Structure 1
């Protein structure tokens, strides 16, 4: 079945998601500035993206509910609205949002437009199904996606590599499944991987192996990948840069 991932969203920018930095560890990472951009991504996702036909098509294909599709407490907008249906996806999207709100009311619940929405499950699902192209990420999370969810995207790509190395396919798939029948329909190998991204993952994986052997603090090995009879000797072949 042919499916043009990048073609689903024509406004995406050609941004390389791979980076040598680890933004949530790097001392230069400004968490307060990042949070402002992340909130912008949440607002875009809730108010616009979830009502667009391309985002709904991708979400259906990878089997993940959008906030307004939740059977209980659907999230219709980032802020309360009065007298108007949320979204900008046309009559069909507005009708779907109204139906979700009616279903919640019939079930004894109420829509909670200001409820917290985490974007991590959507980033994880896009990574695991190889839909994490810049154009698709832009379509889901808006113009601020690079600064807003870019660090999380980088981390989830590394986590996916670690999951594949840690266990077999069946257990990895189970880890990426979600409740309410939102099982991942398929897994694909990580796409558009650079040599730099692999080396960064290798280094971080070796640091994890060192922690498993309590090689921390004063016991930290001076040369990553060194001996000492630890798990590092069974680790990946780290590519050291020449001086």
Structure 2
């Protein structure tokens, strides 16, 4: 199922830019590996630091767009039904129909059949990760679909999360069986993933980045950290490869 870049209501308002000032080092991290998919139009290699405080407004823009616009459009609702994941406004006992935090019938409509304890509970913050993961696992994480779900700021707002979850999907497939991967991507008995597809639009650069990170994970399993790290001890990091028949 293909989305184009002109979904109804897909023009999101421009998110406010973070003020340019020096940030504490704690809020900075090494830049994410280059986004290897051909869908990338923003080369992170030119950005030596990934600044979380600069990223966050873009992420908030994606979050607002998903809640206020995307989930109320026909294409997003159709795809969500096909890949069997409930949109926020469909969740009970507290449907989330908009990004506003104000409580009341306009924003949060409690289930009339819920018990008093449920009624008194405050709705939990809604995460975008389950939707990103479900799109990846079912092969629907193309740029057009991500734009349709998360708006014009999707690349800067959820692009890094998308990259990480693509790598996690590769790691899951490498480390366990198909059934266990499927169970890991099921959300609930009502929101099981209907099918799994191999990761799409993969470039050699993305595979190499995943191999490198996988080697780091294997090194940690062997406690090869700090002074015992392979690069410190002059060893070549090992990459687990499937045996050739």
TM-score, length-scaled by structure 2: 0.75
Deviation at 1:119, TM superposition (A): 0.1
Q: Does 1:74 align with 2:95?
A: yes
TM-score, length-scaled by structure 1: 0.75
Out of 30, 39, 47, the residue aligned to residue 16 of structure 1 is: 39
Aligned length: 211
Pair 73,20 (structure 1): closer, same or farther in 2 beyond 3 Å: same
Q: How does 1:183-202 map to 2 (within 5 A)?
A: 183-202=192-211
Q: SS of the counterpart of 1:198? A: helix
Q: How does 1:11-50 map to 2 (within 5 A)?
A: 16-17=39-40, 28-50=49-71
Instruction: Give, in whole Å, the separation in 2 of the partners of 1:82 and 1:226.
Output: 58
Pair 158,110 (structure 1): closer, same or farther in 2 beyond 3 Å: same
Pair 50,139 (structure 1): closer, same or farther in 2 beyond 3 Å: same
Pair 82,35 (structure 1): closer, same or farther in 2 beyond 3 Å: closer
CA RMSD for the aligned pairs? Answer: 3.4
Flag structure 2 segments of 5+ consecutive residues without an equivalent: 11-36
User: In the alignment, which residue of structure 1 is the partner of 2:34?
Assistant: none
Deviation at 1:77, TM superposition (A): 1.1
Q: How does 1:115-154 map to 2 (within 5 A)?
A: 115-154=124-163
Pair 125,48 (structure 1): closer, same or farther in 2 beyond 3 Å: same
Give the conservation status (yes or no) of the 8 Å contact 1:45–1:142: yes
Instruction: Give, in whole Å, the separation in 2 of the partners of 1:176 and 1:82.
Output: 31
Deviation at 1:179, TM superposition (A): 1.6
Q: Does 1:107 align with 2:120?
A: no
Pair 111,195 (structure 1): closer, same or farther in 2 beyond 3 Å: farther
Flag structure 1 segments of 5+ consecutive residues without an equivalent: 87-99, 238-243
